[in-house]
Structure 1
């Protein structure tokens, strides 16, 4: 069994803190904006008070050390023959998602957040609520930003089927939100993207950049899945959002969350086609970040971690590796691009 200590021996920019968590190993001082984070009270389900102390994060999305591979997006060793057939696979997939959200809600507290910010030299977290049709978590995110204006920037989250969608977008702009975050699938929309396009247009009217979870697992073979499982795995594929951008103004600011995970090369093609789009880098590897820099430059790439789902240090260490010979690229990805996009 590989231990964390053994794992980080040859991993530049990574070390362990006193709690055994991954933290950044970097001495130069730099302002960092983490463009993709959440907190206890901005997640679906029961609201969890972020003031709770003593809750530990397990990072349920992080692979076991024996399965870790930081050279690939999402850092998991790939098994192309993996099988996901039958209702058991669907149930397991759903339970894994529930465990992730439960861990995020349990561990995404002020105490853990501020410690992670300190350990990793993060100046500001962009907090992204995850709202559903029946549960709007936007005001919880704004409360964080009002309580700690130097530590948090709040995005809102409005479901496209919300009957007050447009009114909320205009209201949230006046309240001080800086953009919109959404995680939605073609299955949830039932392949009717008109409400989502209308939501995007409302965001465009008020000047909100929009960040969506994008990307699917591309290594699993179609013949190794059931029809339902295949739809679940492909329900946020990058192609969906690339096609939607054709329906919007050319200067609409869209952010591909996670840079499409394993579909980062397709994200690069859309960034070329849509010059006002951005890629947020959580889950990406050193090589995939270098690929994006080489293909589209560094002026539209944003550092993000997906904390508390994942440690802030992991993707941060990948950005540092990918920009070792380019300080200008490093500063742009870690904070300058975020400041320009958010006008701060």
Structure 2
């Protein structure tokens, strides 16, 4: 069985810190804005104080080293025994998601974040709250940016069905929010996208770019799942949200979170169709990033990591690999595109 030490020897731009976590292996200077991060108090769970000390971050989203493959999006090998059929598999999948959120909430502290920023040469994190119908975490995100304005920039998040969504978004922009983040499924919306479209229109009116989680897992085949499980796995596929852009102005600034994971080629299609759209690269591979550069250029690609769900280092190492022969593309993806989009 391969060890982490053996693994990083084969992967350029990656090494391990003293705790055995992946960090960047790069000697030169880098200027980096991480466009996709969270913190311990911006998720729809019980709030953990980000000032907490000694909380361990385990990166439960990351596949174990024997099942890791950085040549594909989401970095997970496809295995023939990865079957997800029956109600039990749905319950297990939901439980695993809850465990991941708990680890992010526990480990997404200032202490862990500042350490990761330092080890990976990150200048600034864009903090993305995830709000639900019950919990609006926008104010927590704004407080983080207010407490450390040189380290963080805040987005806000309001559920589309919130009756006060317009008033809240206007208020949050006044308080310093730079955009709108949402993680939502067609199942939650019950295939009624009117509230989401209206939320997008409000964001357009007030000048907010919108970032949504998009894409489905790459290492699970339809034939290995039940109909219910497949519907759940496909509930954030790129096509759902990409087609909504038909109902928005052509200069609406929409960001495909995770570049659609395994659906990055479809993301490229939408980027060609809608010139004001962007894509964020967390959990992409070197090859998929190169594909996006070749298809749509580098001016609308944004480096993101999804920390603390995933290490900041791995997508960063993929960007460095994909831009070895194009220093300008590297600079734009790592910082300049984010600066221009958010005017920071």
- Matching of residues 216-295 of structure 1 within 5 Å: 216-218=216-218, 220-295=220-295
- Per-residue deviation, 1:173: 1.2
Q: What is the distance in 2 between the residues matched to 1:30 and 1:221?
A: 38
Determine helix, strand or coil for the equivalent of 2:46. Answer: coil
Alpha-carbon contact 2:218-2:261 (below 8 Å) kept: no
Alpha-carbon contact 1:81-1:221 (below 8 Å) kept: no
Determine helix, strand or coil for the equivalent of 1:293. Answer: helix
Q: What is the distance in 1 between the residues matched to 2:313 and 2:219?
A: 26
1:95 matched residue in structure 2: 95
Question: Which segments of 5 or more consecutive residues in structure 1 lack a partner in the other structure?
Answer: none
Q: Deviations over 1:107-165 (max 9, x none)?
A: 00000000000000000000000000110000000000000000000000010001101
Q: What is the distance in 2 between the residues matched to 1:292 and 1:259?
A: 9
Determine helix, strand or coil for the equivalent of 1:35. Answer: strand
Alpha-carbon contact 2:76-2:219 (below 8 Å) kept: no
1:7 matched residue in structure 2: 7
- Matching of residues 42-121 of structure 1 within 5 Å: 42-79=42-79, 82-121=82-121
Alpha-carbon contact 1:282-1:305 (below 8 Å) kept: yes
Q: Deviations over 1:172-200 (max 9, x none)?
A: 11111000000000000000000000000
1:178 and 2:142 matched: no
Q: Deviations over 1:44-84 (max 9, x none)?
A: 12111001111111100111111010000010001366321
Q: What is the distance in 1 between the residues matched to 2:222 and 2:130?
A: 30
1:156 matched residue in structure 2: 156
Alpha-carbon contact 1:86-1:226 (below 8 Å) kept: yes
Give TM-score scaled by structure 1 length.
0.98
Which deviates further from its counterpart, 294-303 or 3-12? 3-12
Q: What is the distance in 1 between the residues matched to 2:189 and 2:181?
A: 16
- Matching of residues 290-309 of structure 1 within 5 Å: 290-309=290-309
Q: What is the distance in 2 between the residues matched to 1:56 and 1:219?
A: 28
Determine helix, strand or coil for the equivalent of 2:247. Answer: coil
The number of equivalent residue pairs is: 344
Q: What is the distance in 2 between the residues matched to 1:242 and 1:17?
A: 39
Q: What is the distance in 1 between the residues matched to 2:193 and 2:223?
A: 28
Q: What is the distance in 1 between the residues matched to 2:222 and 2:33?
A: 38
Q: What is the distance in 1 between the residues matched to 2:211 and 2:223?
A: 32
Q: What is the distance in 2 between the residues matched to 1:30 and 1:85?
A: 45
1:193 matched residue in structure 2: 193
Give TM-score scaled by structure 2 length.
0.98
Which deviates further from its counterpart, 10-19 or 35-44? 10-19
Q: Deviations over 1:203-261 (max 9, x none)?
A: 00010000000001255333322221111100000000111000000000000000000
Q: What is the distance in 1 between the residues matched to 2:84 and 2:14?
A: 33
Q: Deviations over 1:6-44 (max 9, x none)?
A: 110111100111111110011111210000000000011
2:134 matched residue in structure 1: 134
Q: What is the distance in 1 between the residues matched to 2:209 and 2:20?
A: 36
Q: What is the distance in 2 between the residues matched to 1:218 and 1:63?
A: 13
